[in-house]
Chain A
């Protein structure tokens, strides 16, 4: 009896789930399709809800910075977009196409790994600890994915990698292994490596947090150059308020798994509306 009722419950929840999925469009269309859209995205670790039905749009070419206290779920947003974390509810769209789901008979179903690979090719990511491949030189790091994923010829891939390494100012270091590069240089190689895949969306996860203070500037300068010269959509998690203020189009303040407040940098930093934003900003300011 108990088993039967459990089965019924399971079927009910499945039906309910399918009903729920029908509210999400299988594709975003129109003139102003956002580059990235989070729709009711929920993330849980066991009983702990890290993100509670997040709704966030990032327009094409927009630079959005995510700030907030640790544990507020800001890094999780990036990791979900890079498919490093599974989501527990909602749908993420990238350039109009669902990332976490795929269409089947007019309804969205959880995506197959092959489908995810086609969509996430639009996204590039840089990490706090660089995560360069230590057994490859800077150049080999940069051509690895273009050669094996985009199936470019080695010659073309090297040409592109040299161009990118030149842009981050490391052309003369391209035959060095990561262990021989400073933290700032490693992070710049990591940025070049991500750019070699020509992503439309670039995710920067606390890229300066693991760096010595004196080399932070060389990385932030590269990012500033990216923002001004390239038509990239960027989502950045950072603890450097001044830097975020300088280059962002919009700031999102995360607190307890929700967007507590968001707006243009000037408004949010100079005139925060919510109490928690005020507390956080004043705490950061007094730490400086």
Chain B
């Protein structure tokens, strides 16, 4: 069919332009275009629609991962700590809230925040709605990772804190949390890769991440096989090294905390 990859990418095809007329074009000029338009990076962040090439969209995907995971890490810690307070009623409320978030699909939550919010006067941009939904969803997952890790720290450590008269704040942030970190890292790495692979769900509300742009390109040229393959390969190429790096980070943290011989 094609003699070489360069043949394939320079192949001339036909597509409909905005006036509905058939025009000649080069297949996939958009795969390797400049990362963002002339307006620059900052403008591209404000308006997701500005990113119209696959690699530009990869930038949006990564931004979504870092923002979403950042929210999830902090809110997840709040969820985990919220289940360890002295008030049993408060613990129960947080517990049920986490359970509720964990038990509903992410896509439904994204739709809900974006489309149902305006009914109650809360209108959010696709980015804000998407980050809220994906951040909360993964916060619920991460809170369980934190909860397990905090429980894995021996009870004697908290008792030593009481015996030394340390404040509750110092006990948690200075003694318990650092020791819980090595226990939490495997689960946290798991969900980092998870959130990366779940960002395509944001396309349903029009965040221009990779999948959104890929379907746009696919529908423009009526060829999905190539663009979807490339998207899959990009995900794979980023996930695999991340997983390896996370393992390295885990042993580094253990060493840094002096918890290896």
Mark A residues whose CB is within 8 Å of B. Answer: 82-84, 117, 120-121, 123-125, 127, 129, 131-137, 144-145, 148-149, 177, 179-180, 193-194, 197
- A148 near B174 (CB under 8 angstroms)? yes
Given the interface pairs A135-B257, A137-B258, the reply to whether A117 lies near B165 with Cβ below 8 Å is yes
B162 A134 Cβ-Cβ under 8 A: no
Of A84, A134, A136, A193, most B-chain CB atoms within 10 Å: A134
For this complex, 18 residue pairs linking A to B, each with C-beta atoms less than 8 Å apart, are: A82-B163, A125-B163, A127-B160, A129-B156, A131-B160, A133-B160, A133-B175, A135-B257, A144-B166, A144-B175, A148-B166, A148-B167, A148-B170, A148-B174, A149-B165, A149-B167, A179-B259, A179-B260
Q: Are A136 and B258 in touch, CB under 8 angstroms?
A: yes
CB of A135 within 8 A of CB of B258, answer yes
Q: How many whole Å from B69's CB to the nearest CB in chain A?
A: 24
Hey, what's the 0/1 contact readout for B118-158 against A, CB within 8 Å counting as 1? 00000000000000000000000000000000000010110
B257 closest partner in A (C-beta): A135
B261 beta carbon closer than 8 Å to chain A: yes
| Total A-B Cβ pairs within 8 A | 69
- What is the number of residues of chain B that contact chain A, defined by CB distance less than 8 Å? 21
Across-interface contacts of B165 in A (CB, < 8 A): 117, 120-121, 145, 149, 197
CB pair B164–A145 under 8 Å, yes or no, is yes
Question: Which 9 residue pairs are nearest across A and B when measured between Cβ atoms?
Answer: A177-B258, A131-B160, A131-B156, A145-B164, A135-B257, A125-B163, A149-B165, A148-B170, A135-B178
Chain B residue contacts of A127, Cβ below 8 A = 156, 159-160, 163
Taking CB atoms, residues of chain B closer than 8 Å to A131 are 154, 156-157, 159-160, 163
Which among A120, A127, A135, A193 has the highest number of chain B CB atoms within 10 Å? A135
Query: Taking CB as reference atom, which chain A residue is nearest B169?
Result: A148
Distance, CA A222 to CA B156, complexed state (A): 23
